[in-house]
Structure 1
């Protein structure tokens, strides 16, 4: 099996906890050849663990890594404000791009990132793990197969206590997330995931209307947001995101999808089961393995690079996810209903 040769830009938490474990399962398909980090000593520690030469294969200047002729793919895990400029330099070099979401800190940046594959003729995948996760693919299939009849509406409560994690060894402890230099703060960084999951299940969004509770903390302009959503498929629902506090009562509200013949319930994406309740009293428990999105996206990217299948999560799909976040922020500010998508589907079935 051909091994794809990879260079890594950014060896922080996203690499350590998300991408690296997936690469470890795919050593027959990927070979990590070079590492770059603004903290060279951190990259050197990883080089030692991976058996790389710290003099030859470790960089603090990402352009020097990009210039290496032996690399086929660059996996970019940097602060959001650097996503577009780094991705553009990689694309300009002719190498394939694996980029963490979101594609840019602004809509203009994201639009420019979306166009990189066309401008430079390179493959690019946006690493939106919710679209590759077992649970959201199961949910999409259950809805598509009308397991509960026609879907009518949903509620989705997502709580992410940012302040609880700020002093721990977590993503919330990073300086650039605590004091973000991009609109929306944690809403753009974290709420984009469950919103991508909803779009994966139901498709494009026709309208949305949002409300927010303002706060002074830098990590997010709002302590909580609620969003009324009208999908182009006709499904309606409410998404609530609470980054400033906790949901103490168990089981969690989670995601509940109501249909003409029953309902689907998933407490959260770590619980490992999806419950299907039928109006006739029947009940099914469908298991899933959490945290498989990163593995699945790397499998899909490998298969696309070797001509076996298309990239499932295209830049256009991720652009729709990002546009949804910006529409939420716009709706709160303008106190208006906002149109979001022009086409009904941003999913690959």
Structure 2
């Protein structure tokens, strides 16, 4: 008889519903508890998602006292750090929603705690499960581009600013950079083999979010809606990064990988005002290279698929828990993503270039 996997959910906001839906598609998973700091919300969530006899708590530490195989952490960003530390120390395997944390120091401690306890810290970047993301990584890692020396990535929505907890600094920690920028960073950095950032020079602004003409919660808007940065890595690579929740432009351009032998131009999939960022699939891939002295453009056929990427990331986490495998997307990779975000916020505040230091694990 197949072992049943017992899961707890910490945080019952919107993204928690996506986790529950994916877990319920796995017939050997039981969601046995839900915790939310707002009294009554866990009970409402359990009723909404028909979770039967799941226990409800308003303190995640009570949930962690249960015999659980793993937890999904779906809290606002500022709570990622403490709930993850508590869950790892309680012996639970962790599926953590992005972004990893608010600061680099928090991310480092989270990874160190996972190492110390021997428990899994898996960070949820579902676009990695798109076959076209794997194709892109294979192309870059194959050496066909030669030495990659420059990358340009990011994304922009003409209009796509969220509200609520996303725009409060005390709950989100940051705005567009952490919300959708982390996807752009992971797409590029994972493709490149996760190089180590060493310096960041950045700029951020919130001209649209704080203007009532563009946002109904302008008076409560506390985070950035735009960011741009130049990031240097320890291997000499340079990244030009830009991200926007709102702008007077149709696009901030495609992602580009420039190499000494060839270059790749990559566009995201999706249409509409909330598209244009790397939280989904690949739209097109084109290689620019020379053949017999002629400038040549070669379209790379993308992979047609019907995968539900969110389901794939949850299933992979559950199977890793069941089989005793390492984290599919380990925290020690994503800490470099968080280091860039942390560097952008520090640099923008200081109005100068800042150094990035990540300890060895």
Relative to structure 1, the CA distance from residue 111 to residue 233 in structure 2 (aligned partners, 3 Å threshold; closer, same or farther) is: closer
Q: Does 1:324 align with 2:313?
A: no
Contact 1:155-1:256 at 8 Å conserved across structures: yes
CA contact (8 A) 2:200 2:344 kept: yes
C-alpha separation in 2, matches of 1:291 and 1:159: 25
Q: For residue 8 of structure 1, what is the aligned residue in structure 2?
A: 9
* Partner of residue 125, structure 2: 128
Match status 1:336 vs 2:326: no
Change (3 A) 1:201 1:340: farther
Instruction: Write out per-residue CA displacement over residues 24-79 of structure 1, whole angstroms, 9 at most, x where no aligned residue.
Output: 44x144322222333635644544644512xx53333433322223x211111011
C-alpha distance in structure 2 between counterparts of 1:153 and 1:100, whole Å: 29
Change (3 A) 1:258 1:306: same
Question: What is the aligned partner in structure 2 of residue 188 from structure 1?
Answer: 178
What root-mean-square deviation, in Å, do the aligned CA atoms of Structure 1 and Structure 2 show?
3.2
Match of 1:267 in 2: 267
Measured at CA, do residues 325 and 151 of structure 1 come closer, stay the same or move farther in structure 2, by a change above 3 Å?
A: same
With over 3 angstroms needed to count, the CA separation of the structure-2 counterparts of 1:15 and 1:45, relative to structure 1, is closer
1:100 aligns with 2:97: yes
3-state DSSP class of the match of 2:243? strand
Q: CA deviation at 1:158?
A: 0.9
Query: Deviations for 1:112-144, whole angstroms, at most 9, x for unmatched residues?
Result: 322222343422222233444444333221100
User: Which ranges of structure 1 fall in alignment gaps of 5 or more residues?
Assistant: 167-171
Partner of 1:179: 168
Could you tell me how far apart the structure 1 residues matched to 2:97 and 2:245 are? 21
**TM-score calculated relative to the size of structure 2:** 0.77
- Structure 1 residue 94 displacement after superposition: 1.9
Question: What secondary structure does 1:287 align onto?
Answer: coil
Question: CA contact under 8 A between 1:135 and 1:290: conserved in structure 2?
Answer: no
2:10–2:35 CA contact under 8 A, matched in 1: yes
Against the structure 1 CA distance between its residues 34 and 288, is the aligned structure 2 distance closer, same or farther, given a 3 Å change threshold? farther
For the 8 Å contact 2:167–2:223, the answer to whether it is kept is no
**Aligned in 2, Cα 1:109/1:207: closer, same or farther, shift over 3 Å?**
closer
Number of residue equivalences: 330
Cα distance, 1:324 vs structure 2: 0.9
2:299 to 280, 283, 298: 283
Preserved CA contact (<8 Å) 2:133 2:187: yes
Cα distance in 1, alignment partners of residues 281 and 248 from structure 2 = 17
SS at match of 2:169: coil
Question: What is the aligned partner in structure 1 of residue 273 from structure 2?
Answer: none
Q: Provide TM-score, normalisation by structure 1.
A: 0.80
